[in-house]
A and B are shown apart, each in its own frame.
Chain A
Amino acid sequence: RKEVEQDPGPFNVPEGATVAFNCTYSNSASQSFFWYRQDCRKEPKLLMSVYSSGNEDGRFTAQLNRASQYISLLIRDSKLSDSATYLCVVNPNNNAGNMLTFGGGTRLMVKP
């Protein structure tokens, strides 16, 4: 089983649509969870951290289900500028290194 698994997509949605991405992770001891956004041939940029209680940042809502080892990202009212690859990212342990394990990403294309 892959450490962090995502549906690669692409998800093609019209502007204004609501879209949801899911991610599963294999290491039950994982401590921290994030969604990053990556535009084509650019660096990953932190979109939001994911907390156990769920959290929202504007049009973006992230949820974590530790029992199912499942993370989700919901984007409401999609904009053209939301077109990108969304990376599910996990910190598998809590040592000083704090390395991140990335999923393969889910590609979103928002059409006019």
Chain B
Amino acid sequence: EPEVTQTPSHQVTQMGQEVILRCVPISNHLYFYWYRQILGQKVEFLVSFYNNEISEKSEIFDDQFSVERPDGSNFTLKIRSTKLEDSAMYFCASKIGQGSGYTFGSGTRLTVV
């Protein structure tokens, strides 16, 4: 069964450092997403990406965040200057079309120290 692959599975970084979280969506999918889940809290939407541009973003997705799909395969989330409160599980997801369901990746656990 096709999978959404995320790397690394766990990243520890110092406050103020830049991090890049990587995702390889399912190859024929057209819609891409980042969500995050702070430990013990609900899953929260960050950003959606379609046709090489951001289609929606939440209030969480401020100027410190950016996304890229540089090569038609990878879909990355960059946090420019990490804060302690960015510590969370970050899930990438993709879907083939508007009416279809999402497939989530297994997540990257980001710990900011």
Contact = CB atoms under 8 A, between A and B. Distances in A.
Interface residues of B, number: 24
Chain A interface, >50% SS class: loop
Interface residues of A, number: 21
Contact of A97 (B42, B48, B91, B105): B48
B31 A49 contact: no
Nearest to A96: B55
B75 interface: no
Contacts of B35: 100
A34 B76 CA distance: 26
Given A43-B106, A98-B48, A104 B41 contact: yes
Given A46-B101, A49-B101, A99-B56, A87 B89 contact: no
B109 to A, nearest CB: 8
A97 B55 contact: yes
B20 to A, nearest CB: 20
A44 interface: yes
A66 interface: no
Nearest to A48: B101
Given A95-B55, A96-B55, A105-B42, 7 more contacts: A87-B42, A95-B56, A97-B31, A99-B56, A101-B45, A102-B43, A102-B44
Interface of A: 34, 38, 41-46, 49, 87, 95-105
